[in-house]
Chains A and B, each alone.
Chain A
Amino acid sequence: MNTRSATTIGLVLVAAGVATMLLVHWMVVFWVPTEAEQGIVQRIFYIHVPAAWTTFLAFGVVALASAAYLWLEDERADAAAVAAAEGGLIFGAIMLISGPLWGRIAWGTYWTWEPRLTLTLLLWFTYLGYFLVRGSVANPRKGKRFAAVLAIVGSLNIPLIHVSVVWFRSLHPEPVVIKAEGPTLHPDMLTTLLTSLAGFTMLFFGLFLFRYTVEFLGRRPGRGGAARLAGEVST
Chain B
Amino acid sequence: MMSLRWARLIAWKDLQVEFRSGGRLLAMIAFVVLACFLFALALDRSLVPARNVAASLAWLTILFAATTGAGRTFDTEEEDGAFRHLLLTPVSRHAIFLGKSAANLVLVWIVTILAFVALTSFLGVRDAGSIARHGAVLLPGTIGLAAVGTFFGLMSRHSSLGDTLLPVLTFPLLVPVIFFGATASGRVLTERPWAEISGSVRLLWAFAIGFVAVGSVLFRYLAEE
Contact = CB atoms under 8 A, between A and B. Distances in A.
User: A contacts B directly in the complex (CB < 8 Å)?
Assistant: yes
Interface of A: 70, 122-123, 125-126, 128-129, 132-133, 136-139, 141-142, 145-146, 148-150, 152-154, 156-157, 160-161, 163-164, 167-168, 171, 235
Of B172, B175, B176, B183, most A-chain CB atoms within 10 Å = B172
Contacts of A141: 225
B168 interface: yes
- The 10 A-B residue pairs with the shortest CB-CB distance in the complex, in nearest-first order: A136-B159, A122-B172, A160-B176, A164-B179, A164-B176, A136-B161, A136-B160, A129-B169, A125-B172, A126-B172
Given A152-B218, A153-B214, A235-B225, A139 B176 contact: no
Contact of A126 (B151, B158, B173, B222): B173
Contacts of B225: 139, 141-142, 235
B159 A145 contact: no
Interface residues of B, number: 27
A150 B169 CA distance: 8
Contacts of B206: 160
A161 B173 CA distance: 8
Contact of B175 (A122, A138, A145): A122
Interface of B: 151, 155, 158-161, 165, 168-169, 171-173, 175-176, 179-180, 183, 203, 206-207, 210-211, 214, 218, 221-222, 225
A153 B180 CA distance: 19
Contacts of B221: 70, 145, 148-149
Nearest to A127: B172
A163 B173 CA distance: 13
A168 B159 CA distance: 34
Given A141-B225, A154-B173, A164-B175, A129 B165 contact: yes
B179 A157 contact: no
B161 A168 contact: no
B161 A153 contact: no
A125 B168 contact: yes
B168 A146 contact: no
A27 to B, nearest CB: 36
A128 B169 CA distance: 9
Contact of B222 (A132, A136, A138, A149): A149
B220 to A, nearest CB: 10
Contacts of B211: 153
A133 B203 contact: no
A92 to B, nearest CB: 13
Contacts of B179: 164, 167-168
